[in-house]
């Protein structure tokens, strides 16, 4: 069965979101697009909330959020209970966010010039599997901060 991904972005990253969706679909993933698809201004906290709540409604493998820098939308996503959103700057960071932090969301900036391509970082995130063990204890502590 194909992995299911939910993705949302603000106006600062709608073009990057379209590129990500195209890549994911070419890899056989099912993608739910939460918007936006134009340069009309929207608030990234609203897009983070909408996308995270859709993810939490069930049956998604992970979520993606994007804004101009990725910073504001990742901070917003991390305010939603149950979300661990990574904002990687390179392939290593993307991979480690899954291996050690079991991130269930990944964020990117549409106005950032990354050294590694977003699709390469995304692929590293997708291919990585959480290692568990001592890392599970740390993830539990991260999630405990929500209490």
Catalytic residue among 52, 67, 85, 135: 67
Q: Are 29 and 63 in contact (CB under 8 A)?
A: no
Cα–Cα distance for residue pair 67/50, rounded to 1 Å = 14
Told to judge if 100 belongs to the known catalytic residues of this protein, a careful annotator would answer yes
End-to-end distance of the chain based on CA atoms, in angstroms?
35
Select from 61, 56, 51 the least CA-distant residue to 17: 51
Told to judge if 11 belongs to the known catalytic residues of this protein, a careful annotator would answer no
The encoded tokens of residue 30 equal: 């099912």
- Residue 123 CB partners (closer than 8 Å, separation 6+): none
**What is the maximal distance between C-alpha atoms in the chain?**
45
Residue 36 preceded by cis peptide, ω within 30: yes
Catalytic sites, residue numbers = 67, 100
């Amino acid at each position: 069965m194909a992995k299911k991904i939910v993705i949302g972005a603000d106006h600062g990253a709608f073009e990057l979101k379209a590129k990500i969706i195209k890549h994911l679909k070419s890899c056989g993933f099912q993608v739910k697009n939460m918007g936006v698809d134009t340069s009309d201004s929207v608030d990234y906290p609203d897009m983070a909330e909408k996308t995270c709540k859709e993810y939490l409604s069930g049956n998604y493998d992970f979520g993606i959020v994007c804004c101009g820098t990725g910073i504001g939308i990742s901070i917003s996503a991390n305010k939603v209970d149950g979300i661990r959103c990574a904002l990687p700057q390179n392939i290593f960071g993307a991979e480690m966010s899954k291996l050690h932090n079991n991130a269930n969301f990944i964020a990117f900036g549409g106005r950032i010039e990354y050294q590694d391509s977003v699709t390469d970082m995304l692929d590293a995130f997708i291919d990585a599997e959480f290692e568990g063990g001592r890392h599970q204890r740390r993830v539990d502590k991260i999630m405990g901060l929500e209490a």
